[in-house]
């Protein structure tokens, strides 16, 4: 990698992380505020780290004297470095140099929006940086390192290069945050929402670094009082806005919400809240007003969900791939053209989706009321096929077993309705190849859920198992599957959202400062 030279610095490093997402149920419905989706955060995260450093100004030629140099690197990718200059007078960010004139629209928008807001709200924070500039040839600026857990990107080629097979065991042997051997444009993503997690992590990192948000508000676990809630809302609103701006459209936003809050039931915000801020003629005051936590236009709902104890979310990417935007377009076209039928189908899907989360809630209550009985049920079900649960369990009155049976029926119902939607709209939401694979997964002892996440198609599948043995059996089914190449991911579910982390835990990231 060649980028502009920064002098090593003794300044502190701020490191944040934000999780990936799996939309377990609610694909397509979540685009409409009348419906909601159950999104699970993953323990695979995207990291952003920032440190103040001094840069040679020659690397930022034509930088205005009131400009702050910024170097962003994403060392897992080839040619992934970008030099920017943030002009504190106009609050505009200009790209200077980069490898092969490469651009990174998501990074660029986040920096302009977030630094613009810092400059608007606390100009002294950036003025302090400007004041530290050492004269004509060097200037104080920011070095930012972006890094991702391996699961965000397909590791098939890395494993093949290392002579390793496609399995969890092999994935565990790869270094954390390993180099992908390719560019950001060329990498195969796995659907965990790398852009949303990167945007969220970077927004949080800058806000914390410049003390707009207190570090204590982003410590994992402690997020109950109103100050904490406001900090998360601010990150959420800025990240949603920057993500929409970079994508050129206002999406449902469930991926950003998962990156901020982790696992929850999500109901989207009304797009009107971003209208002025998305306009070409926007100014920083419009943006600052739009993202205020107290802006009543932010009407998204986040209902925290607990995943039933001993559930294990397992994910796999399927090496075929689908074009989500084109699937969404076709589904929305069918919805528009068949409004009555679509409303009926949306309502049936919503009922089936809500049943899944109600069953999760009841399972959690069962655990809290009688964990012994709960554990007995899980122990038994984890070694039997779900088709045997109803009749085979000696303790048929165990209500946990009954709930697990309903959960299996529930996810089958969701899948049937997703297939119906796909057939109606002419979109392979659960194509026949995936149906065969998912049905086979549900035949593995201890599997209680299996479906296509999010928009569906040929991208990925998820299973929920009741134990490590069951997870291992699912994986062995995947590795023997001939019809498609099914690649396991290491990630499991996680409840926490964006947080600040101790930088010493990640020497892989610190090595780049
Ligand atoms: N590690 C990273 N470093 C820098 N930029 C990144 C990184 N990961 C993602 N990005 C940004 O996000 C963009 C990918 O966003 P895109 O919306 O195409 O994918 P996505 O929907 O987030 O993918 P997936 O859900 O499969 O992870 C990249 O082109 C880049 O701009
Ligand atoms: C189809 C949709 O509802 C979900 C897409 O989910 P995913 O990116 O496939 O995980 C689109 C959206 O909400 O952005």
Instruction: Give the model's pLDDT for residue 281.
Output: 87
Choose which residue among 71, 98, 185, 195 to substitute to test ligand 1 binding: the one with the highest number of ligand atoms within 8 A of its C-beta.
Answer: 195
pLDDT of 268 > 50? The answer is yes
**Could you tell me the distance, in angstroms and rounded to a whole number, from the CA of residue 458 to the centre of ligand 1?**
19
Question: What is the band of 6 on the pLDDT scale with cuts at 50, 70, 90?
Answer: low
Ligand located closest to 201 CA: 1
Instruction: Give the model's pLDDT for residue 114.
Output: 98
Tell me how far apart the alpha carbons of residues 321 and 196 are, in angstroms, rounded to a whole number.
Answer: 19
Instruction: Give the model's pLDDT for residue 395.
Output: 61
CB neighbour class for 477 (10 Å; exposed up to 12, middle 13-18, buried from 19): middle
Q: What is the pLDDT of residues 364-407, one digit of tens each?
A: 999 999 999 999 999 999 999 999 998 876 665 689 999 999 99
Question: What is the band of 327 on the pLDDT scale with cuts at 50, 70, 90?
Answer: very high
CB atoms within 10 A of CB 122: 14
From the list 463, 411, 419, the residue with the least C-alpha distance to 437 is 463
User: Does the CB atom of residue 198 touch ligand 1 within 6 A?
Assistant: yes
Ligand located closest to 25 CA: 2
**Could you tell me the distance, in angstroms and rounded to a whole number, from the CA of residue 232 to the centre of ligand 1?**
22
Mean pLDDT in residue range 205-229? 87
pLDDT of 169 > 50? The answer is yes
User: Does the CB atom of residue 27 touch ligand 2 within 6 A?
Assistant: yes
Q: Which residues of 212-229 are buried (b: 16+ CB within 10 A; e: fewer)?
A: bbeeebbeeeebeeeebe
pTM of the model: 0.96
Tell me how far apart the alpha carbons of residues 152 and 491 are, in angstroms, rounded to a whole number.
Answer: 9
Helix (H, G, I), strand (E, B) or coil at 425: helix
**Whose Cα sits closest to atom 8 in ligand 2?**
454
**Could you tell me the distance, in angstroms and rounded to a whole number, from the CA of residue 461 to the centre of ligand 2?**
14
Encoding tokens for residue 298? 């932010």
Calculate the CA dihedral of residues 175, 475, 324, 240 and round it to 10 degrees: -50
Ligand 2 atom closest to Cα of 268? Answer: 13
Residue-averaged pLDDT of the chain: 93
Ligand 2 atom closest to Cα of 254? Answer: 13
Q: Which residues pair with 398 in a beta bridge?
A: none
* Three-state SS letters, 15-64: EEEEEEEEEEECCCHHHCCCCCEEEEEEEEEEEEEEEEEEEEHHHHCCCC
Question: What is the band of 63 on the pLDDT scale with cuts at 50, 70, 90?
Answer: low
Helix (H, G, I), strand (E, B) or coil at 13: strand
Strands in 288-362 per DSSP E? 301-304, 312-318
User: Does the CB atom of residue 152 touch ligand 1 within 6 A?
Assistant: yes
Instruction: Give the model's pLDDT for residue 222.
Output: 61
pLDDT of 2 > 50? The answer is no
CATH homologous superfamily of 312-492 equals GHMP kinase, C-terminal domain (3.30.70.890)
Instruction: Give the model's pLDDT for residue 137.
Output: 76
ipTM score assigned to the predicted complex: 0.98
Give the percent of the chain with pLDDT over 70. Answer: 95
Instruction: Give the model's pLDDT for residue 308.
Output: 98
Span of 98-102, 208-212, 365-369, 432-436 with lowest mean pLDDT: 98-102
User: Does the CB atom of residue 146 touch ligand 1 within 6 A?
Assistant: yes
Tell me how far apart the alpha carbons of residues 133 and 65 are, in angstroms, rounded to a whole number.
Answer: 10
Instruction: Give the model's pLDDT for residue 199.
Output: 98
Instruction: Give the model's pLDDT for residue 190.
Output: 95
**Could you tell me the distance, in angstroms and rounded to a whole number, from the CA of residue 358 to the centre of ligand 1?**
33
Mean pLDDT in residue range 277-302? 94
446 φ/ψ angles, rounded to the nearest 5 degrees: 90, 5
**Is the CB of residue 382 less than 8 Å from the CB of residue 470?**
yes
Instruction: Give the model's pLDDT for residue 66.
Output: 83
pLDDT of 146 > 90? The answer is yes
From the list 321, 308, 313, the residue with the least C-alpha distance to 450 is 313
Tell me how far apart the alpha carbons of residues 483 and 434 are, in angstroms, rounded to a whole number.
Answer: 10
Question: What is the band of 1 on the pLDDT scale with cuts at 50, 70, 90?
Answer: very low
Based on its alpha-carbon atoms, the radius of gyration of the chain, rounded to whole angstroms, reads 24
Give the percent of the chain with pLDDT over 90. Answer: 86
User: Does the CB atom of residue 23 touch ligand 2 within 6 A?
Assistant: yes
**Could you tell me the distance, in angstroms and rounded to a whole number, from the CA of residue 512 to the centre of ligand 2?**
34
Question: What is the band of 61 on the pLDDT scale with cuts at 50, 70, 90?
Answer: low
Instruction: Give the model's pLDDT for residue 60.
Output: 67
DSSP state of 306: P
pLDDT of 64 > 70? The answer is no
**Is the CB of residue 240 less than 8 Å from the CB of residue 287?**
no
For the domain with range 6-304+496-510, which CATH number is right: 3.30.230.10, 3.40.50.2300, 3.40.50.300, 3.40.50.1400? 3.30.230.10
pLDDT of 421 > 50? The answer is yes
**Is the CB of residue 39 less than 8 Å from the CB of residue 254?**
yes
From the list 328, 511, 340, 497, the residue with the least C-alpha distance to 429 is 328
pLDDT of 133 > 80? The answer is no
Q: When comparing pLDDT for 56 and 293, which is higher?
A: 293
**Could you tell me the distance, in angstroms and rounded to a whole number, from the CA of residue 26 to the centre of ligand 1?**
22
Q: What is the pLDDT of residues 91-126, one digit of tens each?
A: 999 998 888 778 999 999 999 999 999 999 999 999
Mean pLDDT in residue range 281-296? 94
Q: Where are the chain's structural domains?
A: 6-304+496-510, 312-492
**Could you tell me the distance, in angstroms and rounded to a whole number, from the CA of residue 28 to the centre of ligand 2?**
6
Mean pLDDT in residue range 324-330? 96
User: Does the CB atom of residue 328 touch ligand 2 within 6 A?
Assistant: yes
Instruction: Give the model's pLDDT for residue 394.
Output: 64
Q: What is the pLDDT of residues 331-348, one digit of tens each?
A: 999 999 999 999 999 999
Instruction: Give the model's pLDDT for residue 10.
Output: 76
User: Vertex 90, ends 88 and 93: CA angle to 5°?
Assistant: 75
């Amino acid at each position: 990698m060649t980028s502009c030279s920064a002098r090593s610095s003794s300044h502190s490093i701020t490191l944040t992380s934000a999780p990936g997402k799996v939309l377990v149920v609610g694909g397509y419905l979540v685009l409409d505020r009348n419906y909601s989706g159950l999104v699970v955060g993953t323990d695979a995260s995207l990291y952003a780290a920032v440190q103040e450093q001094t840069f040679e100004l020659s690397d930022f030629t034509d930088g205005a004297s009131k400009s702050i140099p910024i170097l962003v690197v994403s060392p897992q990718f080839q040619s992934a470095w970008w030099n920017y200059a943030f002009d504190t007078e106009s609050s505009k960010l200009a790209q200077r140099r980069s490898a092969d004139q490469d651009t990174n629209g998501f990074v660029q928008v986040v920096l302009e929006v977030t630094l613009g807001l810092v400059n608007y709200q606390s100009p002294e924070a950036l003025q302090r940086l400007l004041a530290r500039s050492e004269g004509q040839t060097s200037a104080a600026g920011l070095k930012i390192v972006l890094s991702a857990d391996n699961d965000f990107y397909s590791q098939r080629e890395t494993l093949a290069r290392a002579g390793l097979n496609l399995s969890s065991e092999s994935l565990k042997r790869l270094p954390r945050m390993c180099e992908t051997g390719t560019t950001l444009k060329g990498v195969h993503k796995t659907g965990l929402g790398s852009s949303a997690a990167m945007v969220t992590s970077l927004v949080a990192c800058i806000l914390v670094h410049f003390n707009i948000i207190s570090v204590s508000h982003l410590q994992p676990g402690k997020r109950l009082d109103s100050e904490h809630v406001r900090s998360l809302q601010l990150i959420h609103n800025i990240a949603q806005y920057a993500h929409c701006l970079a994508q050129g459209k206002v999406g449902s936003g469930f991926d950003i919400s998962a990156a901020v809050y982790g696992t929850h039931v999500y109901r989207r915000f009304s797009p009107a809240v971003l209208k002025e801020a998305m306009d070409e003629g926007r100014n920083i005051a419009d943006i600052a007003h739009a993202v205020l936590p107290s802006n009543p236009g932010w009407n998204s709902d986040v209902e925290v969900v607990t995943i039933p104890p001993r559930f294990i979310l397992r994910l796999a990417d399927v090496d075929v791939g689908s074009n989500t935007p084109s699937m969404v377009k076709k589904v929305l076209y069918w919805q528009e053209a068949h409004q009555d039928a679509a409303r009926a189908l949306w309502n049936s899907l919503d009922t089936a989706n809500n049943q899944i989360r109600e069953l999760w809630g009841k399972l959690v209550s069962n655990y809290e009321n009688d964990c012994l009985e709960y554990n007995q049920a899980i122990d038994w079900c984890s070694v039997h096929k779900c088709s045997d649960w109803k009749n085979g369990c000696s303790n048929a009155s165990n209500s946990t077993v009954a709930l697990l049976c309903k959960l299996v029926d529930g996810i089958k119902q969701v899948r049937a309705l997703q297939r119906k939607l796909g057939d109606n709209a002419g979109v392979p939401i659960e194509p026949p190849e995936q149906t065969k694979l998912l049905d086979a997964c549900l035949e593995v002892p201890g599997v209680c859920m299996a479906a296509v996440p999010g928009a569906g198609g040929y991208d990925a599948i998820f299973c929920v198992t009741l134990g490590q043995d069951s997870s291992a059996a699912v994986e062995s089914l995947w590795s023997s599957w001939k019809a498609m190449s099914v690649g396991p991911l290491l990630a499991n579910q996680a409840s926490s959202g964006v947080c600040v982390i101790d930088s010493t835990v990640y020497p892989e990231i610190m090595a780049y400062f």
